[in-house]
């Protein structure tokens, strides 16, 4: 089988290439040039492209670079900025997976005559009742099923996750045994277009006006202020202009129209019901009992899907509007679909 391998310049995609070759596939590496601006983190730096190219040489496979920077700006960067402007929480890595690392890569694979695409994600794909589903990766600490929950049947049927059955330790050991230059390279942790030196404030401040806001308690009494309401999200505890000492206070509401941040005890974030919007499904819409995960490494909680609501079996912390919520089967094995918090 001819496989187009997305190579980020990290250890996981490097080992994925070796595993595909061991399985007898014809493999070509492809690195996507996504972000054209300054980058000192994530997976878009010049050094990452160079690492991918050199690993391809070590594996003796051809390597291409695809410039998808316009698509990245349209589908990832601009929505990220707009979300902060409008008071919602963006999901840049999930949107990058949806639009670039799978959809655009699959289009290019079709054009070049490949049978499948592969990435270094820690997840698995398997058939349940005749349909394809994303399954959790073998390494629970590195599982990435949450961030690839958006894949439809066509993408699932032609996508390979070669390292999904391995732990991260096993991946690094395999890379070391092969002498790959990425064997000890640290994992990417942050949004690739937000630099460590400037951070979100500098990035967003150059693109949208940042507005100061007052901070009040749940009775409406002024207790502080923040320089930018666009930097504040539900559940936040640090960076909200409050003095130290005393009981912990969290952001329990953000009113962008009134430029007001409300803080209160953690218990004020508890909800019995979470509204959802813009659902996507691996196969067909699901109703009834599911497990629900609200962050990349969050703990799944039992709930029922009823209409456009998640009804928790026990109260859970409120999810910021716009954040991805992912639904798993009750065995916590595979992804049924996902949605955005409303």
Q: Are residues 298 and 241 in the same domain?
A: no
Predicted local confidence at residue 234, as pLDDT: 95
Tens-digit pLDDT profile for residues 73-106: 999 999 999 999 999 999 999 999 999 889 999 9
Q: Is 44 among the residues known to form the active site?
A: no
Beta bridge pairs of residue 302: 291
Q: Are residues 170 and 33 in the same domain?
A: yes
Q: Which of 285, 292, 255 is nearest to 271 (CA)?
A: 292
The one catalytic residue among 43, 44, 93, 96: 96
Task: With respect to residue 202, please indicate whether it lies within any of the assigned structural domains.
Answer: no
Q: Are residues 8 and 126 in the same domain?
A: yes
Whether 210 shows a pLDDT value over 70: the answer reads yes
Tens-digit pLDDT profile for residues 98-133: 998 899 999 999 999 999 999 999 999 999 999 999
Place 138 in a pLDDT band, splitting at 50, 70 and 90: very high
* Three-class SS of the chain: CEEEEECCCCHHHHHHHHHHHHCCCEEEEEEEECCCCCCCCCCCCHHHHHHHHHHHHHHCCEEEEEECHHHHHHHHHHHHHHHHHHCCCCCHHHHHHHHHHHHHHHHHHHHHCCCEEECCCCEEEEEECCEEEEEECCCCCCCCHHHHCCCCHHHHHCEECCCCCCCHHHHHHHHHHHCCCCCCCCCCCCCCCCCCCCHHHHHHHCCCCCCCEEEECCCCCEEEEECCHHHCCCCCCCCCCCCCCCCCCEEEEEECCCCEEEEECHHHHEEEEEEEEEEEECCCCCCEEEEEECCCCCCCEEEEEECCEEEEEEEEECCCCCCEEEEECCCCCEEEEEEEEC
Task: With respect to residue 189, please indicate whether it lies within any of the assigned structural domains.
Answer: no
CATH of the domain at 290: 2.40.30.10
CATH of the domain at 106: 3.40.50.620
Give me the domain span that covers residue 58: 2-178
Place 48 in a pLDDT band, splitting at 50, 70 and 90: confident
Q: Are residues 337 and 249 in the same domain?
A: no
Place of tokens 């289009």: 107
Q: Are residues 257 and 294 in the same domain?
A: no
Tens-digit pLDDT profile for residues 58-75: 999 999 999 999 999 999
Query: Do residues 35 and 193 lie in contact, with contact meaning Cβ atoms separated by under 8 Å?
Result: yes
Name the pairing type of β-strands 116-118 and 222-226. unpaired
Tens-digit pLDDT profile for residues 299-341: 999 999 999 999 999 999 999 999 999 999 999 999 999 999 9
Whether 246 shows a pLDDT value over 90: the answer reads no
Query: Do residues 120 and 16 lie in contact, with contact meaning Cβ atoms separated by under 8 Å?
Result: yes
With pLDDT > 90 as the criterion, what percentage of the chain qualifies?
86
Query: Do residues 248 and 263 lie in contact, with contact meaning Cβ atoms separated by under 8 Å?
Result: no
Q: Which of 51, 15, 50, 52 is nearest to 30 (CA)?
A: 52
Q: Which of 63, 132, 80, 89 is nearest to 284 (CA)?
A: 132
Summarize the confidence of residues 245-272 as an average pLDDT: 94
Task: With respect to residue 188, please indicate whether it lies within any of the assigned structural domains.
Answer: no
Tens-digit pLDDT profile for residues 50-59: 999 999 999 9
The one catalytic residue among 43, 44, 93, 192: 192
Whether 190 shows a pLDDT value over 80: the answer reads no
Summarize the confidence of residues 235-240 as an average pLDDT: 90
Task: With respect to residue 194, please indicate whether it lies within any of the assigned structural domains.
Answer: no
* Pair of tokens at residue 250: 């969290």
Predicted local confidence at residue 38, as pLDDT: 62
Q: Is 96 among the residues known to form the active site?
A: yes
Number of domains, the chain: 3
Task: With respect to residue 184, please indicate whether it lies within any of the assigned structural domains.
Answer: no
Q: Are residues 115 and 231 in the same domain?
A: no
Q: Are residues 52 and 173 in the same domain?
A: yes
Residues 118, 314: Cα–Cα separation, whole Å: 38
Predicted local confidence at residue 88, as pLDDT: 93
Q: Are residues 259 and 284 in the same domain?
A: no
Predicted local confidence at residue 44, as pLDDT: 58
Residues 35, 250: Cα–Cα separation, whole Å: 34
Q: Are residues 163 and 279 in the same domain?
A: no
Whether 189 shows a pLDDT value over 80: the answer reads no
Q: Are residues 135 and 279 in the same domain?
A: no
């Amino acid at each position: 089988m001819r496989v187009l391998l997305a190579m980020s310049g990290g250890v996981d995609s490097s080992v994925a290439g070796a595993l595909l070759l061991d399985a007898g596939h014809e493999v070509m590496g492809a690195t996507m040039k996504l972000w054209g601006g300054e980058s000192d983190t994530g997976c878009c730096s010049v050094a990452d492209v160079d690492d991918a190219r050199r690993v391809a040489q070590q594996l003796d496979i051809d390597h291409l670079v695809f410039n998808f920077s316009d698509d990245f700006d349209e589908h990832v960067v601009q929505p990220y900025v707009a979300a902060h402007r409008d008071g919602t929480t963006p999901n840049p890595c999930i949107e990058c997976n949806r639009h670039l690392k799978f959809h655009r890569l699959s289009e290019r694979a079709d054009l070049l005559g490949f049978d499948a695409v592969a990435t270094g994600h820690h997840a698995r794909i398997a058939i349940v009742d005749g349909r394809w589903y994303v399954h959790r990766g073998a390494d629970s600490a590195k599982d990435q099923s949450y961030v690839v929950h958006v894949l439809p049947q066509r993408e699932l049927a032609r996508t390979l996750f070669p390292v999904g059955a391995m732990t991260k330790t096993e991946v690094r050991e395999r890379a070391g045994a092969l002498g790959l230059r990425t064997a000890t390279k640290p994992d990417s942790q942050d949004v690739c277009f937000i630099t460590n030196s400037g951070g979100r404030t500098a990035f967003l401040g150059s693109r949208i006006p940042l507005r100061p806001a007052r901070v009040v308690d749940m009775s409406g009494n002024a207790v502080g202020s923040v320089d930018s309401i666009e930097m504040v999200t539900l559940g936040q505890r640090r960076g909200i202009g409050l003095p130290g000492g005393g009981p912990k206070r969290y952001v329990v509401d953000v009113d962008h129209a009134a430029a007001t941040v409300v803080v209160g005890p953690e218990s004020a974030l508890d909800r019995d019901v979470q509204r959802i919007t813009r659902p996507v499904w691996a196969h067909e819409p699901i109703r009834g009992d599911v497990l629900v995960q609200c962050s990349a490494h969050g703990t799944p909680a039992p709930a029922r899907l009823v209409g456009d609501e998640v009804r928790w079996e026990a109260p859970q912390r409120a999810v910021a509007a716009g954040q991805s919520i992912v639904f798993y089967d009750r065995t916590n094995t595979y992804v049924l679909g996902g949605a955005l918090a409303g």
